Each structure stands twice: as structure tokens, then as C-alpha cells.
Amino acid sequence: MNKFKTIEWKEDHVLMLDQRKLPTEETYIECKTSAHVAKAIKQMVIRGAPAIGVAAAMGIALGAKKIKTKNKKIFFEKLENICNELSKTRPTAVNLFWAVKRMNNLAQSLKDLEIEQIVSNLISEARLIYEQDIQICKNIGKMGANLIKKGNNVLTHCNAGALATAGYGTALGVLRAATEQGKNIHVYSTETRPFFQGSRLTAWELKKDNIPVTIITDSMAGHVMSTKHIDAVIVGADRIAANGDVANKIGTFSLSVLAKHHKIPFYVAAPLSTIDMNCPSGDKIPIEQRDPKEISTIKGKRIAADTDIYNPAFDITPGRNIDSIITERGVLKPPYKTTISKIMKN
Ligand code: MRU
């Protein structure tokens, strides 16, 4: 289905589609070191919670491969530094920490093997995380497609598509699956200020798949919900607390309030790796603050008055505003504290 690759393991480097350049330029960058992968995540060459997790796993595998030592103590010290550097790139998407932990746990469990074997296992694991992510998104798609009816108008925010995952997508995975079932849906994609993930990325990948899409600015959402027939709102997630509160792209919370006002179902689609059982509620989720320049400039040119600027990258949508959380193993309904705890135990 996807006519592009978001990220790819290439043995001596990690290849990434440079999402900062889309939709006007389709260029790929080669990350040759783990530090380069970390920089790419921080600068949003690659973004979206599951894609960040895959990139971190590949970054660790690449970094481990490039460690030049025969001394195991030094190898593990360097590996720890690599994991720490990747963990510091972005704070909100829990998939990053989930992937680092999975890779690190594997390395620790193989401590008695030769360094070469540990490295080869880490590479296989990173590739597995990539493959599994695609399968998980397809399963999310299948689960969620049942909520979408023929001819539905669906509004989405930010980009929770193939570009935000190893491929296929979470929220857009649901819309892809509905399209594959012949449901002829139409998508409204919010622009998603300030990084324009909606107008640059979501609209770009939906167009490539011939899924009809209309771009609106973020401030049009209320008007569109009250004047166009919107059947559902569907978004992804960067971290889901144990009580069902969801951290996602800034603006998601406002959309959930508008959806509630208009009695439009509000869905979140995410893999189970996005659920953080160590976070009891949304107020415990760290919110990334980004460079004010993302708001004050466009392509290096100043567009805003020279004042103080506030740029939180995410907000928290309370679980009570969410009708369903679509995961690869099922569609969760409130009370989320109970349904999440049950699915995480299985
Ligand atoms: O800042 P970004 O572009 O990494 O934010 C991405 C989002 O908020 C997505 O909605 C979320 O990561 C889910 S992606 C499947």
C-alpha cells in the first residue's frame, strides 16, 4: 500500500524520509551513527510516537554495531550512553522509552554472549520491532474499521499515519482499512499548527492512497463540525495514562471538547506500547516544550511580532471525552481504568 518508506534499516546506516521537507521534496537522509539518529528524532526528520520508537531501536542497533571494542565492560558502558542519548530526544511519546527499554533488556539478557552475537541480536530485534509495528497497525486498522460506516466524513488531527509509524498508521490505519473495505470515506485534515503535520503529511499520504481529503485550518474545526456532517473524529496518541487520559498533538483536547459538544464520537487509535501503566493520569505525562521559532517563523522568515511565545507540543485529552481507544487487541470502552488494566494483564 505505502508508496514510500518512513524508515529503513540499511546495515551501515538508517535511512529516513525527511519529513521536514514534505510535501514539496521527497528526500531521504542517511543516519550513519546513533548520534545522528538522535539528532533526526529531535529535529523531527522522523516523528510520531511509534516511528520514534522504531527509530530509537534502530539507533541502538546501529550504535552497538559501531562500538569498537572487544572489552565487554566498555561495550556495555557505551551502549548505556547510546540509550541515554536517544532517551533524551523527546519526552512525551512513551514508545521511545518502551523501545529503548526493550533493546536494553535484550542486551542485558545476553550479557554472557560474545559482543558480536549481542550486536547481531540487537539488529534482529530492531528489525522485529519495525515488522511488528506494521502488523500491529494493520490490526488496529481492522479493529477500528468497524466503527466507520460507508460514506462517513471523518476528521483527523496531526499525522497518525504511515509517516508516524513503520508503515500503515494508527488513526490513518483505521481509515485505510475502512477504505480497503470499500467504505468511500472522506477525511478532513486539520492543518496542525505549528509544524503542519496535517496539511503537509496527512494530506500528502492520503492523497498518495487516493483517499479523498480536505485540509482545514485548526480554527475551522468547530465551524466544520457544526456545518458539515462529521461522523467521527479519530486521532493517534503519544502516551495513554492508566486511566485513559491521552497525550496527543496540541489541539487534540480542544477537538475532543468540540466533538462532545456536537455529539460526534471521538476515537483514539494507538498500539498497546503507547499505554504507560506507570502514569496513573494525564497530569503526570511530561509535555514537550518546543522552540518558539516553530511559531514565530516559517522557513526561517519571521511571521510573528517579537514577543514571548508559548509552544507546548502536546496536550491532554481526558478519558471522559474519548468514546473508544482502538488497540491492536481490541476496542476499549470506558471505564478505561478497568478496561486498560484488563487488556494490559492479558
Ligand atoms: O510532534 P509529533 O509530530 O511527533 O506528534 C505526533 C502526534 O502527536 C501523533 O498524533 C502521535 O504521535 C500518534 S502517531 C501514530
Residue whose grid cell is 476515537? 267
Nearest atom in ligand 1 to the alpha carbon of residue 52 is 4
Among 3.40.50.2000, 1.20.120.420, 3.10.20.30, 3.40.50.300, what is the CATH number of 7-137?
1.20.120.420
CA dist., res. 236 & res. 161, Å (int): 9
Terminal Cα-to-Cα distance of the chain (whole angstroms): 31
User: What average pLDDT does the chain have?
Assistant: 97
Which has more pLDDT, 230 or 11? Answer: 230
pLDDT > 90 fraction of the chain, expressed in percent and rounded: 98
Compute, in angstroms, the gap from residue 30 CA to the centroid of ligand 1. Answer: 22
Residue spans of the domains in the chain: they are 7-137, 143-345
- Is-catalytic flag, 238? yes
- Among 32, 209, 35, 7, smallest CA distance to 127 is for 7
* Closest atom of ligand 1 to CA, residue 158: 10
Please indicate whether residue 249, judged by its CB atom, sits closer than 6 Å to ligand 1: yes
Ligand 1 centroid to Cα of residue 308, in Å, is 25
Range 6-28 average pLDDT: 97
Task: Please name the residues in contact with 33: beta carbons below 8 A apart, sequence gap of 6 or more.
Answer: 62, 63, 66
137 C-alpha vs ligand 1 centroid, how far in Å?
A: 14
Ligand 1 pocket mutation pick from 44, 197, 233 by most atoms within 8 angstroms of CB: 197
Cα(108)–Cα(153) distance, integer angstroms:
48
Mean pLDDT of 292-312: 96
pLDDT of 1 over the 80 cut: no
Segment 30-37 mean pLDDT: 98
Given pLDDT bands bounded at 50, 70 and 90, which one contains residue 2?
A: low
What pLDDT is recorded for position 175? Answer: 98
The answer to whether 44 touches 195, Cβ cutoff 8 Å, is yes
Does the CB atom of residue 237 touch ligand 1 within 6 A?
yes
| 52 within 8 A of 46, measured Cβ to Cβ | yes
Per-residue model confidence (pLDDT) at position 331 = 98
Per-residue pLDDT of 104-122, as tens digits, reads 999 999 999 999 999 999 9
Spatial distance between the Cα atoms of 70 and 337, rounded to a whole number of angstroms? 48
Asked if residue 170 has its Cβ within 6 Å of ligand 1, the reply is yes
The mean pLDDT value for 20-31 works out to 98
Residue 144 alpha carbon to ligand 1 centre in Å: 18
Category of 32 on φ-ψ map: left (φ > 0), alpha (ψ -120 to 50) or beta = alpha
| DSSP per-residue letters across 8-19 | EE-SSSEEEE-T
Atom number in ligand 1 closest to CA 249? 8
Calculate mean pLDDT across residues 338-344: 98
Q: What is the mean pLDDT of residues 241-265?
A: 98
Model pTM score: 0.97
Does residue 155 carry a pLDDT above 60? yes
In the chain, % of residues over pLDDT 70: 99
Mean predicted confidence (pLDDT) in 57-75: 97
CA distance 338 to 335: 6
Which of 80, 95, 2, 102 is CA-nearest to residue 41? 95
Which atom of ligand 1 approaches the CA of 314 most closely?
8
Is residue 47 in contact with ligand 1, taking CB distance under 6 Å? Answer: yes
Ligand 1 atom closest to residue 90's alpha carbon, by position in its atom list: 4
Question: Considering 12, 218, 238, 291, which one is annotated as catalytic?
Answer: 238
Residue 315 in contact with ligand 1 by CB distance below 6 A: no
Amino acid at 157: H
CATH topology of domain 143-345: Rossmann fold (3.40.50)
Is ligand 1 within 6 A of the CB of residue 241? Answer: no
Whether 152 contacts 211, CB under 8 Å: no
Judged against a pLDDT cut of 80, whether residue 300 lies above it is answered with yes
If pLDDT is split at 50, 70 and 90, which confidence band does 228 have? Answer: confident
Task: Tell me the pLDDT tens digit for each residue of 46-58.
Answer: 999 999 999 999 9
- Is the pLDDT at 83 greater than 90? The verdict is yes
Query: Ligand 1 within 6 A of 48 CB?
Result: yes
Mean per-residue pLDDT for 74-79? 98
pLDDT tens per residue, range 118-148? 999 999 999 999 999 999 999 999 999 999 9
Atom 5 (ligand 1) nearest CA: 48
> Average pLDDT of 287-315?
97
Q: Does ligand 1 have an atom closer than 6 angstroms to the CB of 248?
A: yes
